[in-house]
Amino acid sequence: MTSSAETSSSFARPHRAPASRARDLLVERYAPLVTMVLAIVAIWYIAAVAMNWTLVRDAYEREETPYTISDVLAGTMDAERPLLPAPHQLAAAVYDSVFGYPPLAPRSLVYHALVTLSATLLGFLIGSLFGIALALMIVHSRVLERSLLPWIICSQMVPVLALAPIFIVMLGALGLHGLLPKSIISAYLCFFPVTIGMVKGFTSPDPLQIELMRTWSATPRQVLWKLRWPAAVPYLFASLKVAISISLVGAIVAELPTGAEAGIGARLLAGSYYGQTIQIWSALVVAAVLASGLIAVTALVEGGVLRRMGAH
């Protein structure tokens, strides 16, 4: 905060100790969030009791053992195949499958997360490079802008995931297996936001600046490297953050119809075949952790790059 802002605000408001103001800001910022999260957890517990109730009660009645309400209540908290696992049960399952096995054992979620992560990253790399290349072509050619851009938008209306089984068949016939088909699907999903964002970014410089470059008789390449690229960097990171989460979705979903043996999508599918609800939920938790981790890393890189480029 600059000193002038400090003085003007201290004129406007009664003086307070800086520590208490910082604490107030903290409370103002996080109290609603914490309340919301606590509310969700509470609703979750109540829902777990309500949804698992008949399940547990029926089990007792089938075994014809006498039971009390508190027995059923306890049962809803640690049923083996609950409709909705209680949060602590889920946390224990996630902890167990992450730390309970060596990281490369097929029962460890770390292993599955790594498989999906590698497909995600490869797809993200292919997709964003392709997206940037497309944006460059579109920015430099009016013909491509007119003829290609509408089709790029249309391509996103095709439910790409529907293409996944075919991609697997096609690429399998060409002798490609494993990582690449999944990555191509996630690349197909994630190139679009990059292209659109980068077209916007490359065309974001002021017309005045472009004219200035022309008065210096800069070549198109010089205009690109010295003006368009730096101007496009904020747009690049904004679209990369979208792209990486989409890329993860693509990698997970590509594992569904391909009958993959490993990966988060494969865990989801296996869990749904065998009715292992806790396994599905813990795969979902790991996917969520992965998604937020990837976005956080992108945001960190963004912060670093923008700082080096002189942003405050």
Partner 1 sequence: MDPRKLRLGFLLATAAMALAFLLPPAPGAQPLSARPYVWEMSTAACLSCLLAAWRADLAAAIIGLPAAVLAAAASLLLLDDRMVAGAAGPGFWLIVIAAWLSAGLCVATLASLRQLRRKAQRAIDFLVPLLFGATVFYLWEVGVRGLGVPPVLLPAPSAAAARFASSLPTLGTDFVQTFVRGVLIGYAIGCGAGLLVAILAHRYQFLSRGLVPLGNFFAALPLVGIAPIMVMWFGFDWPSKAAVVVLVTFFPMLVNAIAGLSAAGDIERDLMRSYGASHRQSLTKLHLPAALPFIFNALKINATLALIGAIVAEFFGTPTQGIGFRISTEAGRMAIDMVWAEIALAALAGMAFYGLVALAERATTFWHPSYRT
For residue 36, the minimal CB distance to partner 1 (Å) is 4
C-beta of 236 vs 269, nearer to partner 1: 269
- CB neighbour list of residue 147: distance below 8 Å, 6 or more residues apart: none
- Listed residue (31, 250, 236, 20) closest to 131, CA to CA: 236
**Encoded tokens for 161:** 């995931």
C-beta of 104 vs 173, nearer to partner 1: 173
Alpha-carbon distance 157 to 174, whole Å?
27
C-beta of 50 vs 309, nearer to partner 1: 50
- Listed residue (139, 124, 123, 146) closest to 229, CA to CA: 139
For residue 128, the minimal CB distance to partner 1 (Å) is 17
C-beta of 71 vs 171, nearer to partner 1: 171
DSSP designation for 227 = I
Note the residues at the interface with partner 1 (CB under 8 A).
Answer: 28-29, 31-33, 35-37, 83, 142-143, 145-151, 154, 156-163, 165-166, 169-170, 173, 245, 248-249, 252-253, 256-257, 264-265, 268-269, 271-272, 275, 277, 280-281, 283-284, 287-288, 291-292, 295
- Listed residue (208, 192, 55) closest to 132, CA to CA: 192
Alpha-carbon distance 82 to 51, whole Å?
8
Q: What angle do CA 37, 42, 47 make, to 5 degrees?
A: 125
- Listed residue (87, 115, 161, 105) closest to 290, CA to CA: 115
C-beta of 104 vs 154, nearer to partner 1: 154
C-beta of 17 vs 143, nearer to partner 1: 143
For residue 163, the minimal CB distance to partner 1 (Å) is 6
C-beta of 169 vs 309, nearer to partner 1: 169
Alpha-carbon distance 132 to 249, whole Å?
20
C-beta of 170 vs 309, nearer to partner 1: 170
C-beta of 124 vs 227, nearer to partner 1: 124
For residue 308, the minimal CB distance to partner 1 (Å) is 26
Count of positions (residues) in the chain: 312
For residue 171, the minimal CB distance to partner 1 (Å) is 10
Alpha-carbon distance 300 to 312, whole Å?
14
Q: For residue 234, give the 3-state DSSP assignment.
A: helix
For residue 252, the minimal CB distance to partner 1 (Å) is 5
How many other β-carbons are positioned within 10 Å of the β-carbon of residue 42?
11
**Encoded tokens for 194:** 């990059």
Alpha-carbon distance 112 to 89, whole Å?
21
For residue 229, the minimal CB distance to partner 1 (Å) is 25
For residue 24, the minimal CB distance to partner 1 (Å) is 14
For residue 245, the minimal CB distance to partner 1 (Å) is 4
Handedness of CA 14, 15, 21, 22 (dihedral sign): positive
